[in-house]
Structure 1
Amino acid sequence: MSVELRVLEASEWDQWYEGLEQAFGGVRQAQEKRDLIKELTDPARAIGAWDGSVSVGTAGSFGFDVTVPGGSAVRMAGVTEVSVASTHRRRGILTSMMRRQLDDLREWGEPLAILTASEPAIYGRFGYGTASWQLVAEIDTSRVRFPEPERPDGITLRKVKPMDALDICEAIYARKVPERPGMIARLPGWEPLQIMDASEDKAGASDLQCVLAERDGETVGYTLFRNRPAWDNAGPKGSLQLTDLYALDPVAYAALWRFLAGIDLTSSIRMENRPVDDPWQHLVSDIRRCDARIWDGLYVRLVDVGTALAARPYRTALDLVIEVEDAFCPWNEGRWRLSGDTKGAVCERTADAADLVLSVRELGAAYMGGISLAALAGAGRVREVREGALTEASIAFGSDVAPWVPHNI
């Protein structure tokens, strides 16, 4: 049987998406969420693999702006909805879709592709590098305390319906986007997805709840969470599932965490995606009772090496020649001279001798400033040719805060 690869037609979306749902276990998504995703999808950015009239492969992307180290915004493709039917594995369908997608992104002038992976072993062969980690934790609030303020902090808390506060919360989110690499500027129409209360998201928990932190009539922070009640013979042991928590200053931030830790009939706060340098870790009385661990987060692929490296500033001045290996996108292969500082950079092809040799996967891993080139070199994945070049590059590529992607892609 032959499989045809083609750009999606709008009329094919339902069948295409059903193929995606089947590949991810066959559970149909809540209709409200499904309808919104259909509305947000640009068919011109979606690829389908078809065996006759049957959808056997899917891949899509959304065009976003993402924050890079230094606070600049760079155009990128958020890769999503990637699947291959279990009946059609080992036929090169995924490779063909990735090939077509990267060719399209290059033509559209989008120098970066990013994704979060359902299975981390998949995307390295297509040039994606693990560029950030996310923090997974469960704080035992029956034993862990958050410090009370030394003086009145002026913060008041107000519970509201998530939809009623959506504009306020999104305004705070927008102010936080430039502060951390990996954060994505929200496109119009995406706001309702952040508070959608689909049944599959609850898993026995309450409806999504929202609490605002206010000072002098101004909202300076918010949290979104669900409460999952539970009891045993000793009494209540409910838990909170944290969805979002953002604040404009440390005082509001600490007030929101104290609030969550003090909710009656609960004994834990669970979180699945927080930045690895989240400050709450320096507020808790006992970090060992927070079961903190890391998970792979953002994967980055440089679609156009020269444009991508020139699009971000660097922590310190650097001038070095990088030899890039990229068999999947051969237009990136060769030597590039990267010169830059905190104000910007230039990256152009050169015939000069290489200072560092690495693959595009390692460049993607280091791009957001959270993965050290020196650490990658320690794993044998970066080779230093000129002495001192590795230290120069590792410092320059770094970021003061850890990269993190909380946005649904």
Structure 2
Amino acid sequence: MTTELRVLHEAEWDRWYDNLELAFGGVPEAPEERGLWRELTEPGRSVGVWDGAEAVGTTGAFSFRLCVPGGELVPAAGVTMVSVRPTHRRRGVLRSMMRRQLDDLRAGGEPLAVLTASEPDIYGRFGYAVATYRMSVRIDTTRTRIAVPPATDDPSASQEVRLRLSEPGAARAVCEEVYARRVTTRPGMLARQPGWDAVPLLDPPAKRAGGSPLQCVLAEADGAVVGYARYAVRPAWEAGGPGGTVVLRDLEALTPAARAELWRYLFALDLTAWVEAENLPVDDPLLHLVTDVRRCHAAVADHLHVRLVDVGAALAARRYRAPVDVVLEVTDAFCPWNAGRWRLTGDAKGAVCAPTRDAPDLALSVRELAAAYLGGTSLAGLAAAGRVRELREGALEEASVAFGSAVAPWLPHGF
């Protein structure tokens, strides 16, 4: 095979992206969707493998800042648009792109790489591991309701919340202000870079599956927007009457009262009997507001996969729930610069992580560190699966508590 791996030139974008569409089934995207991803593509951070004039492999990276435990926003490469032409599979194309990409990220000083995987089994061999999960729900709103705690529902105890419908584009700026205030409250969230506020508004008619155009409701208190929900309604009629579905795109709120009012609104929309959402945190407050959690039909799936490009810099960038002083024996076959012993010392105020020759306390691979990095996966749980070995008594509990997060990490949208 004679192929060339090189950085993407803007003039090649259409052929490069055509290969991506082919790898994902060959169904052309709507013009507005394709156009948005063209605008967001960073050519200098994208590579292609070419066989003559044909693109046979693609991958790119977005310049993100990822919230990590402690609220810091850490540079992270959002790995995206990964594809290999069917005729060129099993020939090392993907491996060559992953090799080039991680080498470039290391040279550029980015400590983290993140991605969402169409097939999770693919990326483990390159050091990625699942670090966040998403919860989907399908709620029977005829058999459960929102039960708001009295203190939350009492206007005298908090600001009264009023709801107002708005055209999604007109509300774009105020919704982004709410989102920006939420980013540092939960690990896994992305600080949206310029242009990314268009992603939640992407609404090609071909993907509505019989639903309405995107709608938006704002929650306001004392004249300020304190929450929003963006959704569509998919009408349906059954023998017993209306059975439409509210399809929630996203919901953010700055106060419990605003959150409760938004959910109550979605549950009570006329001519509907269901609320669906594909991407909620696994500890979403909704689970504590419904009167019958079984009627939510909740399911959990993997979402954000994390790769520590630089173990020392990545571990030093986050904060820890409890004081920790532990020596980690790390293996990393794909990025050998991470392999070896690292002493991590940190607490809620900061951390230091540096190479050491001291005796190790825990032994694990870079994948286990990635899984635990955002605080959603316990090192103790990984040890129970045989993926972490305790070499000093007490070190596992110390590290497990320290790596934890008060809230479940969560990725708000794909890329």
Q: Is the pair's TM-score, using the shorter chain for normalization, greater than 0.5?
A: yes
Segment of structure 1 superposing worse, 349-358 or 32-41: 32-41
The unaligned stretches of length 5 or more in structure 1 are none
Selected match of 2:174 from 168, 186, 202 = 168
Aligned-partner Cα distance in 2 for 1:149–1:304: 45
Q: Structure 1 residue 190: deviation in Å?
A: 1.4
What is the one-letter code of the residue matched to 2:147?
P
Aligned-partner Cα distance in 2 for 1:395–1:281: 25
What is the one-letter code of the residue matched to 1:129?
A
Selected match of 1:270 from 271, 276, 299 = 276
Q: Structure 1 residue 316: deviation in Å?
A: 0.7
Aligned-partner Cα distance in 1 for 2:190–2:142: 35
Check conservation: 1:33, 1:193, Cα contact below 8 A: no
Partner in structure 2 of residue 340 of structure 1 = 346
Partner in structure 2 of residue 240 of structure 1 = 246
Q: Structure 1 residue 152: deviation in Å?
A: 4.6
SS in 2 for 1:179: coil
Q: Structure 1 residue 200: deviation in Å?
A: 3.7
- Give the TM-score normalised by structure 1: 0.98
Partner in structure 1 of residue 385 of structure 2 = 379
Q: Structure 1 residue 408: deviation in Å?
A: 3.1
What is the one-letter code of the residue matched to 2:142?
S
Q: Structure 1 residue 163: deviation in Å?
A: 0.2
Aligned-partner Cα distance in 2 for 1:304–1:227: 45
Aligned-partner Cα distance in 1 for 2:411–2:67: 10
Check conservation: 1:138, 1:271, Cα contact below 8 A: yes
Aligned-partner Cα distance in 2 for 1:73–1:43: 24
CA RMSD of aligned residues (A): 1.0
Q: Structure 1 residue 218: deviation in Å?
A: 1.1
Partner in structure 1 of residue 266 of structure 2 = 260
Aligned-partner Cα distance in 2 for 1:131–1:229: 36
Selected match of 1:231 from 223, 232, 237 = 237
Aligned-partner Cα distance in 2 for 1:312–1:372: 16
Aligned-partner Cα distance in 2 for 1:34–1:171: 26
Check conservation: 1:225, 1:241, Cα contact below 8 A: yes
Aligned-partner Cα distance in 1 for 2:57–2:233: 37
Aligned-partner Cα distance in 2 for 1:133–1:190: 22
C-alpha offsets along residues 193-241 of structure 1, whole Å, 9 cap, x if unaligned? 2212112431211100000011121111100001001112222111011
Check conservation: 1:30, 1:200, Cα contact below 8 A: yes
**Aligned pair 1:290/2:296, yes or no?**
yes
What is the one-letter code of the residue matched to 2:402?
A
Q: Structure 1 residue 106: deviation in Å?
A: 0.4
Partner in structure 1 of residue 14 of structure 2 = 14
Partner in structure 1 of residue 135 of structure 2 = 135
Q: Structure 1 residue 31: deviation in Å?
A: 1.0
Q: Structure 1 residue 149: deviation in Å?
A: 6.3
Aligned-partner Cα distance in 2 for 1:14–1:402: 38
Q: Structure 1 residue 74: deviation in Å?
A: 0.7
Partner in structure 2 of residue 99 of structure 1 = 99
Aligned-partner Cα distance in 1 for 2:206–2:71: 35
What is the one-letter code of the residue matched to 1:365?
A
Aligned-partner Cα distance in 2 for 1:193–1:356: 41
- Give the TM-score normalised by structure 2: 0.97
Partner in structure 2 of residue 41 of structure 1 = 41
Q: Structure 1 residue 41: deviation in Å?
A: 1.1
Partner in structure 1 of residue 24 of structure 2 = 24
Aligned-partner Cα distance in 1 for 2:79–2:182: 23
Aligned-partner Cα distance in 2 for 1:302–1:403: 16
Q: Structure 1 residue 51: deviation in Å?
A: 1.3
C-alpha offsets along residues 158-215 of structure 1, whole Å, 9 cap, x if unaligned? 1110000000000000000000000000001111122121124312111000000111
SS in 2 for 1:289: helix
Aligned-partner Cα distance in 2 for 1:145–1:224: 20
**Aligned pair 1:301/2:297, yes or no?**
no
C-alpha offsets along residues 115-173 of structure 1, whole Å, 9 cap, x if unaligned? 11111111111100111111011111010111256455321111110000000000000
How many residue pairs align between the two structures? 409
Partner in structure 1 of residue 115 of structure 2 = 115
Aligned-partner Cα distance in 1 for 2:361–2:44: 40
Check conservation: 2:116, 2:414, Cα contact below 8 A: no
